Structure 1
Amino acid sequence: MTIDRGILALLEAKPDKGEELAAFLEQGRALAAAEEGTVTWYAFKVSDTTYGIFDTFENEDGRQAHLSGAIPAALANVGPDLLAKDPDIRPVDVVAVK
């Protein structure tokens, strides 16, 4: 398995919406597990309002399938209520993996 690409998404919750955003991200795990092309999927907390998602893929098809899949669609639905601003979504190249 060669993991050579990923996505980093940084999410800023509205004041007092951090716990709701965390709960949403916890639910996202099941959606990510169902994605054939997603190798790893992490949701993380940086601060009370800053959260993120990092996922990895073996190929561009997997990354594109994820970007057009259930998690971004769900985030678009809850974003206006939970997020202070649009998500910062960045495709990344994975340099090294252990």
Structure 2
Amino acid sequence: MSVDRGLLALLEAKPGKGDELAAFLQQGRELAVAEEGTVTWYAFKISDTTYGIFDTFEGEDGRQAHLNGQIPAALGQVGPDLLAADPDIRTVDVLAVK
């Protein structure tokens, strides 16, 4: 199999909460490592308040397992304190990989 699915989540931190959101995302790496169906997992910063996550999967089963896993659950718990708005989560089809 090859990587053919992804998720892009854009996160907007509340004013003054960017560093806490960044720390939360850094801690999320360990949860992503434990997910068998997640091929790659990236957490990134666009600005002091805008952050994101990009993951890739080999098929829909891996993506669904991730969506039903610990990272989204943890984000749901800290979201009201850290996020200015609900996460913008988009499913994507991966067209090419190097």
Question: Normalising TM by the smaller chain, what interval?
Answer: over 0.9
In 1: Cα distance, 2:19 partner to 2:49 partner: 8
Q: Deviations over 1:35-92 (max 9, x none)?
A: 0000000000000000000000001000000000000000000000000000000000
**Aligned residue in 1 for 2:15:** 15
**Aligned residue in 2 for 1:73:** 73
Structure 1 segments, 4+ long, off by >3 Å, are: none
In 2: Cα distance, 1:16 partner to 1:46 partner: 15
**Aligned residue in 1 for 2:64:** 64
**Aligned residue in 2 for 1:47:** 47
- Normalised to the residue count of structure 2, the TM-score between the two structures is 0.99
- The count of residues paired between Structure 1 and Structure 2 equals 98
In 2: Cα distance, 1:59 partner to 1:95 partner: 13
Question: Structure 1: which 5+ runs fail to align?
Answer: none
**RMSD of aligned alpha carbons:** 0.5
Q: Deviations over 1:16-45 (max 9, x none)?
A: 000000000000000000000000000000
- Normalised to the residue count of structure 1, the TM-score between the two structures is 0.99
Residue 25 of structure 1 aligns to a residue in which SS?
helix
Letter in 2 for 1:13: A
Question: Structure 2: which 5+ runs fail to align?
Answer: none
Residue 11 of structure 2 aligns to a residue in which SS?
strand
In 2: Cα distance, 1:43 partner to 1:75 partner: 13
In 1: Cα distance, 2:38 partner to 2:45 partner: 20
